[in-house]
Amino acid sequence: MSEEESPAQRVAIGISFGNSYSSIAYTSGEGKAEVIANEEGDRQIPSILSYVSGEEFQGTQAKAQLVRNAKNTVAYFRDFLGQDFKSIDPTPCHHSAHPIQHESTVAFKIKDKEDDTENTVTVSEITTRHLRKLKNSASDYLGKNVNAAVITVPTNFSDAQKDALSKAAKDAGIEVLQFINEPVAAVLAYDARPEAKLADKNIVVADLGGTRSDVAVIASRGGMYSILATAHDYDVGGAQLDEVLMDYFAKEFLKKWKNGGDPRVDDRASAKLKLESEAVKKALSIGSSANFSVESLSKGFDFTCSINRMRYETISSKVFATFVRLVLNVVEKAQLDPLDISEIILAGGTAHTPRIASSLASAFPESTTVLAPSTSATAINPSELAARGAAIQASLIQEFETEDIDQSTHPMVTVTPHLARAIGVLCISSDESTGVFRHLVEAETPVPVRRTAIIATPREGGDVLVKICEGTRVIKVTKPEPKANGKAADDSDDDEDSDESDEEEELREKTYKVENVLAEAALKGLSKGAKVELQINVAADLSCTFFAREVGGKVAVRGGWKAPGKA
């Protein structure tokens, strides 16, 4: 349809397009990202289209059609794009239009026209229609025709899926400037806040959605992001929590109305049950209790029932535990320890659940900040992170020529050597075994890199040694002191005894072990109370120059080392 717009004519937004919900966001003139509410006032727009006598509905209105008009309602289709029928999992579409095989792609048979004939509509066409609605909502809000977007995708979205999404967007009049990974968009949304400070840290993004949960471990180094490990779980998400509540309310209903029939069996009753259970679940993220209330739930019987948060957390505890395990597994997959993780960003709608955030907080050490609405006053709405990140990226690149964007995102530019070990300086003692290693550059930092530190000197000043080393992070475990009347510590083959000692918390700390001395330099005649500024510059070929000087003084020294393999 539309040709590529020249950068000057672009109006670009950020789009998060999930299987369950979509969001649109833009970046204002002041550089602030904001999520746009559609005509119905929704910022989380169900990714659902429904047709009634040829009229198209989207979002919340379409979702309501799941009760009466499920066959002509298309939902949970994002992951089908660019896939062949054999490789998709149709389970989430159990209560809506079923995906079918159509030529080499996936389609739905729906009555989407006034004439009541059943048409085969491909997932690509459905996506185009959905994106067109999103585009129109954004255009209405902004008062100009939106014609470009940055769209977020899961980290395991294949090139074929991206191509299909790109084409579907193009057909909706949207030029996809760039696809960015969902967890990276979440990190960017946090880093773009004016109060954010640049720091080198390892971040976990736990994106807990509706039909899937995706976790990524990201090395954030000077504002650049590298993904160290990912995991995807299609068996656990918000839908499983809905099911826990559906089971609970169905059983309560049957207790009250013995002849009511199981609402989980009948299609229409189960659609009502599901919609209301989801609403109850969301209410329980804020309130300490919530009301389930459906008129004529099954066989004409109305049903109201209240549930408190504690009960909900008890019946959902297995699902909650699965999320925690998933996160811990990915940290392990990245060959990291929970102590290496500075932040857990909770993203996705399910991340609103207070118990998930608190369970994660207790599974990680105190030094790990859990960024979720219930654990942090400054957390960003987890449902908005992806769209905001996309909008920020859109504002950064919208003035670039398409060719420039393509070149910058090419592996020639993005594939970069990352340091295997940390680089730092020895403090207190010049002996590698007793000196304390303080890092300037963390492991997994992409090169080239430049870091500067201001370091204290001995109280009297004088001559100091700048000893630059490579170090590896080690976790130091200190076992608690054995109890005075306890058995000997080596008695650990006794089961009872080891159980008991497990209860005592061992102390785990992050320290560094010096592996390799890279360079040494002397700074002589420092004044009393002097501070030393040390700057390390590692080039792309791993050669290095460093510079140390007395802050505000004249003493200075330079040094460095060569690239490996160069004499």
Partner 1 sequence: MTTFQIGLPLPVLSADWSAPTESKTLTAATDRNIEPVGPHFLAHARRKRHKRTFSEDDR
Ligand X SMILES: Nc1ncnc2c1ncn2[C@@H]1O[C@H](COP(=O)(O)OP(=O)(O)OP(=O)(O)O)[C@@H](O)[C@H]1O
Instruction: Considering the complex, state which of residue 309 and residue 421 has its C-beta at the smaller distance from partner 1.
Output: 421
Query: What distance lies between CA 176 and its chain's CA centroid?
Result: 21
Shortest distance, position 206 Cβ to partner 1, whole Å: 17
Q: Which of 11, 12, 17, 18: binder of Mg ion (CB under 5 A)?
A: 18
CA distance 374 to 286: 9
Locus of tokens 């120059």: 545
Instruction: Considering the complex, state which of residue 209 and residue 382 has its C-beta at the smaller distance from Mg ion.
Output: 209
Q: Which of 261, 354, 435, 553: binder of partner 1 (CB under 8 A)?
A: 435
**For the purposes of burial, counting CB atoms within 10 Å of the CB of 94, is it exposed (0-12), middle (13-18) or buried (19 or more)?**
exposed
Per CB under 6 A, contacts with ligand X among 422-461 are none
Q: What's the chain's length in residues?
A: 567
Binding track, positions 236-265, relative to ligand X; x by CB under 6 A: -xxx--------------------------
Binding track, positions 526-555, relative to partner 1; x by CB under 8 A: ------xx---xx---x-x-----------
Shortest distance, position 538 Cβ to partner 1, whole Å: 7
Is residue 42 at the binding interface for ligand X, with CB under 6 A as the rule?
no
Is residue 210 at the binding interface for ligand X, with CB under 6 A as the rule?
yes
Is residue 309 at the binding interface for ligand X, with CB under 6 A as the rule?
no
Is residue 12 at the binding interface for partner 1, with CB under 8 A as the rule?
no
Is residue 465 at the binding interface for partner 1, with CB under 8 A as the rule?
yes
Is residue 420 at the binding interface for partner 1, with CB under 8 A as the rule?
yes
CA distance 16 to 23: 5
Q: Which stretch binds partner 1 (CB under 8 A): 8-16, 303-311, 426-434, 476-484?
A: 426-434
Q: What are phi and psi of 82, to 5 degrees?
A: 70, 15
Locus of tokens 């395991």: 156
* DSSP letter, residue 31: S
CA distance 138 to 23: 10
Q: Which of 105, 181, 353, 368: binder of ligand X (CB under 6 A)?
A: 353
Is residue 344 at the binding interface for partner 1, with CB under 8 A as the rule?
no
CA distance 532 to 432: 20
Q: Which of the choices Mg ion, ligand X, partner 1, none does residue 210 contact, using the CB cut-off of 5 to 8 A by kind?
A: ligand X
Measured between alpha carbons, how far is residue 101 from residues 75, 87, 109, 324, 435 in Å?
A: 16, 11, 10, 36, 66
Q: Which of 5, 10, 19, 230: binder of ligand X (CB under 6 A)?
A: 19
Count of Cβ atoms closer than 10 Å to residue 358 Cβ: 16
Is residue 423 at the binding interface for partner 1, with CB under 8 A as the rule?
yes
Residue 23: name the closest of 32, 13, 31 by CA.
13
Q: Which helix (H) or strand (E) holds 425?
A: strand 422-427
Instruction: Considering the complex, state which of residue 415 and residue 477 has its C-beta at the smaller distance from partner 1.
Output: 415
Q: Which of 160, 310, 427, 556: binder of partner 1 (CB under 8 A)?
A: 427
DSSP string spanning 433-460?
TTSEEEEEE-TT-BSSEEEEEEEE--TT
Shortest distance, position 126 Cβ to ligand X, whole Å: 15
CA distance 545 to 284: 56
Instruction: Considering the complex, state which of residue 254 and residue 542 has its C-beta at the smaller distance from partner 1.
Output: 542
Shortest distance, position 18 Cβ to Mg ion, whole Å: 4
Per CB under 8 A, contacts with partner 1 among 224-263 are 224-228
CA distance 75 to 277: 18
Q: In b/e form, how buried is each residue of 450-461, taking b as 16+ CB within 10 angstroms?
A: ebebebebeeeb
Is residue 285 at the binding interface for ligand X, with CB under 6 A as the rule?
yes
Coil, strand or helix: which one is 407?
Answer: helix
Q: Which stretch binds Mg ion (CB under 5 A): 18-26, 95-103, 155-163, 466-474?
A: 18-26
Number of residues in contact with ligand X, rule: CB under 6 A? 22
Instruction: Considering the complex, state which of residue 44 and residue 69 has its C-beta at the smaller distance from Mg ion.
Output: 44
Residue 277: name the closest of 477, 485, 66, 135 by CA.
66
Q: Summarize as ranges the residues that interact with Mg ion (CB under 5 A).
A: 18, 209
Q: Summarize as ranges the residues that interact with ligand X (CB under 6 A).
A: 18-21, 44, 209-212, 237-239, 278, 281-282, 285, 348-350, 352-353, 383
